[in-house]
Amino acid sequence: MADAFLLHQQSPQLRTPQKTYYAHSREGKPVKEWHLLKDHLENTARKASDFSKDFNAAEWAYLAGLWHDLGKYSEEFQNRLSEANGNDAHIEKPGRVDHSTAGAQYAAKMLGDKGRIIAYTIAGHHAGLPNGEDNKDSCLSSRLKKWIPDYSCGISELPLALNSPGLPFACGGSISNQQFAFRLSVFIRMIFSALVDADFLDTEEFAGAEKCSWRKGYPGLLTLNQRLETYLERFSGHSNGHPVTRIRMEVLGHCREAYDWPSGLFSLTVPTGGGKTLSSLSFAMRHALKYGKKRIIYVIPYTSIIEQNAAVFREALGDDAVLEHHSNFEPEEEDHRSRLASENWDAPIVVTTNVQFFESLFACRTSQCRKLHNIANSVVILDEAQMLPTELLKPCLEILKELSNVYKTSIVLCTATQPALSTTETFKNGLDGVREIIPNPGELYDTMKRVEIKNLSTITDDDLVKKVVSCDQVLCIVNTRRHARVVFEKMRALVNGQGCFHLSALMCPLHRTRKLGEIKKALREGKLCRVISTQLVEAGVDIDFPVVYRSIAGVDSIAQAAGRCNREGRLDKGEVFVFMPQEGLPRGHFRQAAQTAESISRRHQDILSLKAVEEYFRELYWIKGEKDLDAYGILPALTEDAARGNLPFREVAEKFKIIKDGMVSVIIPWKEEADVLIQELNFVKYPAKFARQLQKFTVQVYPQAFAILRPALECIRDQYYVLRNMDIYRDDIGLCPEDPAFHKIESLIC
């Protein structure tokens, strides 16, 4: 294939344009105000090209943008556009003209095997990336053979000379077939992201200037860094005061010194309470300014704590600086800018979840993939990095490597218990070249050690409750929702409810937030405060107890529980008691992790020492084996037929789920605000806005629990389930069906 080509010279038998062609119409407006197709294609091409410069794919993205709507040059589409003026004729639905296959076929014709890369993105720019080849008509191979209306006028109207683009990454030599297949799949997703974002933005600009203006107004990173420096100055005078404050300032100093290290992979190993949230932000801010990174993306494992971290950032940087993007967030007032920015993460500071971040990177849908190109040339902070799902660990590590090696993304693995993710003889596919920001993490751990871990044998629920109520302020963390409720009920009965609190995911998010507020107030005021909780309280929740009881679990979970004990160092040592519950352990990963922790505790006096933690993760990963670290076969699926350019994008997207499908959302009318929103949801024409707002009143239940609950639920609009029997939702424990069978479901974990 020649290195260069002229588009208007490639197809000698072309229809000469005899009329004006349009991409979009305006409802009720004359044709002269419609969106010219040539303008739309060229504008989309330029935008997509700009979005792709950071990963050396500008030419690829330009061609994808230029050709993505070639099918709109057909007479069939233009006629349909006129007939359906203002009715979204450009969106492909049953009965509409297929206009996305044309560009895919043209790319394959012009660029041969290379053209298949662009063909994926064009064929999927409405319906999502297709599989390369399967038994459905929607796969790329079928689309490339499909009959479509004549679009040749478009080739005449776009006489543009372009070079045949090359791949910006290695594709031979030492790179394995699996590495190449994975790399190619990420590259296609990134071009796809640039294309769909450019397409949406150009269409949005045509639709009206007002919506475009909503996207503007975020302060730049230089301004935000100045705000952060000013905010942190208030702590500098306390460095000689409380020991914990002094250590936090030392951690901050190390992060400030390391900012100019070359872009790549970093780790920040800081014990809980060591101030890693603001310190990691300071590193990221300075590093981004030094190397021209465009944004900082802070990734948190749980939605239950994300608002807490975002609030810290807003206090330091201002309300206009931070974009939250997760399932539970709804601004107090409708914020057009944040709503739009969440579509493509075009904001300087993004706070999101593991689910949103990683599932998007393996997605095929346009709505999920649109943001991906904005992850390139950014700083990504993975808070609580040990929370990466083990069954998806290998794909997660591969995407982190790819972002770092090809997409100029610096990644900070930020945790108190750094998992053993580096490549070793026994862990072949780990991360290489990870640089630790703290000079001596082991010494820092010893300095900040504020708890003693004490192992108890198997203990009955009655004895556990007696130990808990012997303390005025105590946190007890168990492994399942069922066990949390049983222990809480026994405790409440024993002390007549005095100072008793319960936390679990059977409370809706707003209810949990309010309950946490009550707990923090009781702790501050020195009142009785005895809390029974599932593990949701562990990762990042800012509470401080003198005593913690923890049902045996993985070392990382025990460390997180210990982080809720003597957090501010007010005591010489807090006490953390690890016990085996009388009911044993839940099956699966919980049991495996707990048994591994037990094994480690027999070999190490301090189970939370850095050496013990590293040994725990290595042993856990070794027990699981290579296959179980990619339990759904994502990497093999990508490799299977990649040599022929067939990549199973839809199959991979279905497999890569951090939270597995099957959970059912139940809306809880917990407060008057929920009642109002439910009423709106039931009767408004477009319910999506109210469904989003109701997420803070939603509880997720497993199918077995849903079946038991079903008689107490009302289904509105054929898809939203609302609890109508509020007798089974209690203020002290949340969702609590009267049927005792509900409480025997072992799978109700967390």
List of domains in the chain: 4-207 (1.10.3210), 221-445 (3.40.50.300), 449-627 (3.40.50.300), 664-744 (no CATH)
Residue 306 makes CB contacts below 8 A (sequence gap 6+) with 300, 324, 326, 328, 329, 351, 352, 353
If pLDDT is split at 50, 70 and 90, which confidence band does 568 have? confident
CA distance 522 to 694: 29
Range with lowest mean pLDDT among 27-36, 207-216, 350-359: 207-216
What is the phi/psi pair of residue 134, to 5°? -155, -165
Nearest residue to 155 (alpha-carbon basis) of 199, 102, 88: 102
Range with lowest mean pLDDT among 151-165, 252-266, 599-613: 151-165
CA distance 742 to 729: 13
Question: Per-residue pLDDT averaged across 172-176, rounded?
Answer: 71
If pLDDT is split at 50, 70 and 90, which confidence band does 384 have? confident
Q: What is the pLDDT of residue 628?
A: 87
pLDDT tens digits along 437-452:
999 998 998 888 889 9
DSSP one-letter string for 276-315: HHHHHHHHHHHHHHHHT---EEEEES-HHHHHHHHHHHHH
Q: What is the pLDDT of residue 744?
A: 43
Q: What is the pLDDT of residue 542?
A: 81
Alpha helix (H) residue ranges in 208-344: 209-214, 221-236, 243-257, 276-291, 303-317, 336-344
Q: What is the pLDDT of residue 551?
A: 95
SS3 at position 404? helix
pLDDT tens digits along 482-531:
899 999 999 999 999 999 999 988 999 899 989 999 999 999 999 999 99
Q: What is the pLDDT of residue 240?
A: 54
CA distance 386 to 414: 9
CA distances from 569 to 57, 244, 447 (A): 51, 6, 11
If pLDDT is split at 50, 70 and 90, which confidence band does 463 have? very high
CA distance 198 to 49: 9
Beta carbons of 144 and 217 less than 8 angstroms apart: no
Beta carbons of 690 and 650 less than 8 angstroms apart: no
| Higher-scoring residue by pLDDT: 10, 358 | 358
- Helix axis angle for 555-562 and 610-628, nearest 10°, is 140
Q: What angle do CA 722, 724, 725 make, to 5 degrees?
A: 135
Q: What is the pLDDT of residue 583?
A: 85
Residue 210 makes CB contacts below 8 A (sequence gap 6+) with none
| Higher-scoring residue by pLDDT: 162, 404 | 404
pLDDT tens digits along 682-710:
888 888 778 878 988 999 888 888 888 99
| Higher-scoring residue by pLDDT: 663, 215 | 663
pLDDT tens digits along 115-132:
999 999 999 999 999 999
Nearest residue to 62 (alpha-carbon basis) of 51, 73, 76, 77: 51
Other beta carbons within 10 angstroms of residue 20's beta carbon come to 13
CA distance 255 to 249: 10
| Pairing assessment for the beta strands 410-415 and 379-383 based on DSSP bridges | parallel
If pLDDT is split at 50, 70 and 90, which confidence band does 157 have? confident
Q: What is the pLDDT of residue 661?
A: 60
Would you state the structure tokens that stand for residue 536, as one six-digit string? 């949701």
pLDDT tens digits along 218-250:
789 999 999 999 999 887 665 555 677 888 899
Helix or strand holding residue 580 (H, E): strand 574-581
If pLDDT is split at 50, 70 and 90, which confidence band does 165 have? confident
Beta carbons of 558 and 550 less than 8 angstroms apart: yes
Q: What is the pLDDT of residue 328?
A: 43
pLDDT beyond 70 at 620: yes
Beta carbons of 183 and 191 less than 8 angstroms apart: no
CA distance 545 to 523: 8
* Rg of the chain on CA atoms, in Å: 28
Max Cα–Cα distance, the chain, nearest Å = 90
Question: Per-residue pLDDT averaged across 309-317, rounded?
Answer: 87
pLDDT beyond 70 at 141: yes
- Percent residues over pLDDT 70 in the chain: 87
pLDDT tens digits along 638-682:
998 888 889 999 999 999 998 766 678 999 999 889 999 999 998
Beta carbons of 500 and 530 less than 8 angstroms apart: yes
If pLDDT is split at 50, 70 and 90, which confidence band does 211 have? low
pTM comes to 0.86
pLDDT beyond 90 at 25: no
If pLDDT is split at 50, 70 and 90, which confidence band does 158 have? confident
Q: What is the pLDDT of residue 216?
A: 62
CA atoms within 13 A on the CB side of 480: 19
| Higher-scoring residue by pLDDT: 748, 581 | 581
CA distance 592 to 600: 12
Find where tokens 């963390």 sit.
477
Written as one letter, the residue type at 478 is V
Average predicted confidence (pLDDT) for the chain: 86
> What's the burial of 467, exposed, middle or buried (CB within 10 Å: 0-12/13-18/19+)?
middle
Helix or strand holding residue 188 (H, E): helix 177-207
Question: Per-residue pLDDT averaged across 344-369, rounded?
Answer: 92
CA distance 21 to 23: 7
Q: What is the pLDDT of residue 306?
A: 75
Q: What is the pLDDT of residue 333?
A: 37
pLDDT beyond 60 at 715: yes
If pLDDT is split at 50, 70 and 90, which confidence band does 589 have? confident
